[in-house]
Amino acid sequence: MDNITHTLTGLMLSRAGLDRGAKGDALMIMLAANTPDLDAFGFFTNSLTYLEVHRGYLHSLVLSPLVALIPLLVVKLAVRTRITISSYLACLIGVLSHLVLDWTNVYGIRLMLPFSSRWYHLDITDVVDPIILGILILALAGAGLSTLVSSEMGAKKTSGPKRAWAWFALVGLLAYDGARWAAHARVVATIDARNYQGAPAKRVYAFPVRLSVLRWRGVVEGEGFVDEDPVDLAKDFDPESGTIDYAAAWSPAMEAARATRPFQVFERFNQVPFWRVLPLEDAVRVELIDLRFGSVLEPGFEASAIVAQDGTVMNQSFSFGRPRLRSATDGLPRDGVHPRP
């Protein structure tokens, strides 16, 4: 999740009762709700380092009790107040709120480090979810308006309105994620009930469409192909509305690309991989896409390499996404992409 969402969640947790009134408690809990993202330092310097490190050890469930010490010590030493068990537990809950929110979205989280590097992701929310942000901002504005009205009426200042709105936000988040979980399960079941290319799907995925609970992007993995289908739970599912793309047959060019660092790092991260090989003059372009973050024609996270006919890798790169314009060859059968029959 984005850091505004994490910060506002920390604030709501603080107002809901974690803030015991000690100096700096609210700031401490908001920092705790963001502390795991200290591992995002590579985003502005090196995208591959970012991919390797982000949502790693600082996002580990096993190590979260140690991560909780960071905001606790920073704030308590800065404001010079006593460290208590309740303040430590408040920080731990703030850190755990971060892990839970990250677990719900498509990017995922390596919860079991250092014992396992497996990525866990529920795929029920986007990395940035405007509806979750809206719930938190509504609670923030509602609490501010309630306090303003009370002060204008001369009422005694209390924490009651802030606490009530904080609980509204936290319960709202749980209800919203519950609705998305149910919708995700329904989409997967709907897609999985069909045959593709005359056979059942090997694997089925459903990824959220921003600003919608009913609309999803379905991805079906078959034998050597993927079928990408839009799903709207308000309408009957039409399996003919999607596109089918065939993965490139394994080749020495792909092996050469796979030996480069961008591909090695990205393969460890990639959860729904799709390989393309596109012909160029005297070379080929090898692409590895993660279909969680975009389609075959408009990929999100992508590693690419230009490989010469003799197997030399002339160029290699990784990007977080670039829309690909359709070319004159799109729609024509080629190694890696085919139109739906």
User: How far apart, in whole angstroms, are the C-alpha atoms of residue 233 and residue 213?
Assistant: 9
pLDDT band of 339, cuts 50, 70, 90? very low
Q: Find how far residue 303's CA is from the centre of its chain.
A: 18
Task: Identify the pLDDT of residue 326.
Answer: 36
Residues in the chain: 341
Residue written as tokens 């897609």? 191
What digits encode the pLDDT tens for the residues 246-277?
Answer: 999 999 999 999 999 999 999 999 999 999 99
What digits encode the pLDDT tens for the residues 183-220?
Answer: 999 999 999 998 888 889 999 999 999 888 899 999 99
Contact status, residue 26 vs residue 140, Cβ threshold 8 Å: no
Instruction: Tell me if the pTM is above 0.75.
Output: yes
- DSSP state letter for 223: S
Asked if the bond preceding 114 is cis, omega within 30° of 0, the reply is yes
pLDDT band of 153, cuts 50, 70, 90? low
What digits encode the pLDDT tens for the residues 236-247?
Answer: 888 788 899 999
**Backbone dihedral region of 21: left (phi > 0), alpha (psi from -120 to 50 degrees) or beta?**
left
